[in-house]
Amino acid sequence: MLRGWTPGVTNWTQALDTPAVRQLHFIKKLLYSHPYLNRIPDQSLVLAGQGTNVATRVQVTRDGTTGHSDATYLMAYLSSPHSITLDTGVIRAQELNVYWFDPATGTSELVHGQLANPGKLTVEKRPPADGVVVIEETTKNHPGSH
């Protein structure tokens, strides 16, 4: 067995048929469903709930310009279920849609539809696994996010 691989995986062709590889298709679809040429990482949007290690860390990205409130969406990846508070003030819209995206299945669940943009929003990822919260303008209908 190769070191670091899932038990039972002995070569690269078997590694191509693992759950993680199958999930990459879903994640790619989500990432490409929103404008990506002007996407920027923005950890400053995590107001509360940022973990201190890799198991609890939150990774955030958005579109727009650094230092401006001109985003049309933001995405936050949570590697474990917990509450986070995000700065939604960077999204220029007055109304937002909020989704949970499950990278294991590629499905999304609407958490809030047509929510007045509060400037900051606390969301809670429920067990059992990781997920991506997608917050976007209600006027956008990005395929793949819901």
What 3-state DSSP class applies to 119?
A: coil
Q: Which domains does the chain have, with CATH numbers?
A: 12-137 (2.60.40)
- Mean pLDDT of the 71-76 span: 94
Residue 84 CA, chain-centre distance (Å), reads 12
| Residue 124: CA count within 13 A, CB half-sphere | 2
Residue 80, both tokens: 């474990």
Q: In which region does residue 31 sit, left (phi positive, over 0), alpha (psi from -120 to 50) or beta (all else)?
A: alpha
The answer on pLDDT for 33 being more than 60 is: yes
Residue 107, both tokens: 């499905």
Q: For residue 21, give the H/E element and its range.
A: helix 19-32
Lowest mean pLDDT among 7-16, 52-61, 102-111: 7-16
Q: Say if CB 125 and CB 133 are below 8 A apart.
A: yes
Q: Report how far residue 104's alpha carbon sits from residue 123's, in angstroms, rounded to the nearest whole number.
A: 20
User: Please, which residues have CB within 8 angstroms of residue 146's CB and are 6 or more apart in sequence?
Assistant: 97, 99, 108, 110, 134
Render pLDDT for 80-126 as a digit per residue (tens, 0 to 9): 888 899 999 999 999 999 999 988 888 888 988 899 998 999 988 77
Confidence of residue 67 (pLDDT cuts 50, 70, 90): confident
Confidence of residue 70 (pLDDT cuts 50, 70, 90): very high
Confidence of residue 1 (pLDDT cuts 50, 70, 90): very low
